Amino acid sequence: MTTHEKNDPICCSKFDPVPWDDKTFEWTDKKFITDKVFTLFYIPMNFGKVMKRLDEAVTKAGAVVPDWLCLSDHTSKWNMDLYLAVDKEIPNAENRNLSGAFYSKVYEGAFKDTGKWNQDFETVVKSKGLKTKKLFHWYTTCPKCAKKYGKNYVVLLSQE
């Protein structure tokens, strides 16, 4: 997704929460490629391997990942579908488009707070008179980069 020096421990771009906090976006056929991550009680087991596979497909196609956007759809405690935003269709990948209104809110803290964030997000969505058709999580940095930056931002997005 990006090239860094071998001695650079940062692999994720620094995330700016302002454009994503308490915002609504209208997407029309926004392009993504998708893959599946095996989870054990919602904890991803092969996330890195799947991201490497997606990155290889994007790189081979000469594509770009806008905003480094990678959405997670926790379909069960055993599976998580990843949606990696791309700027064009990727050969030999599962290409999907998302359309509709998406409300987003940014949270910061330890992953163990995800349950609290989900509850708060549901309250906020209802207070705005919105309904969630599908809920996505965007883990904006890996744990190592979150530690390096001193912030662990997670964006929750509700497809209305």
- Whether 110 maps to a domain, the answer reads yes
Work out the mean pLDDT of the chain and round it to a whole number. 92
**Looking at residue 101, which CATH number applies to its domain?**
3.20.80.10
- Whether 16 maps to a domain, the answer reads no
Query: Which tens digits make up the pLDDT trace of 63-101?
Result: 999 999 999 999 999 999 999 999 999 999 999 999 999
Rounded Cα distance between 74 and 12, Å, is 22
Write the CA distances from 12 to 24, 25, 33, 44, 116, integer angstroms.
24, 23, 19, 18, 25
- Whether 8 maps to a domain, the answer reads no
- Whether 92 maps to a domain, the answer reads yes
Looking at the 3D structure of the chain, how many domains does it have? 1
pLDDT at position 123 over 70: yes
Q: How would you classify residue 29: left for phi > 0, otherwise alpha for psi between -120 and 50, otherwise beta?
A: left
Helix (H) or strand (E) holding 54: helix 47-61
- Whether 129 maps to a domain, the answer reads yes
User: Could you tell me if 142 and 9 are in contact, meaning their C-beta atoms sit under 8 angstroms apart?
Assistant: no
- Whether 3 maps to a domain, the answer reads no
Rounded Cα distance between 22 and 101, Å, is 13
- Whether 134 maps to a domain, the answer reads yes
pTM score, two decimals?
0.89
Q: How would you classify residue 51: left for phi > 0, otherwise alpha for psi between -120 and 50, otherwise beta?
A: alpha
- Whether 96 maps to a domain, the answer reads yes
Domain limits at 151?
Answer: 24-159
Task: Output the CA angle 48-56-49, nearest 5 degrees.
Answer: 20
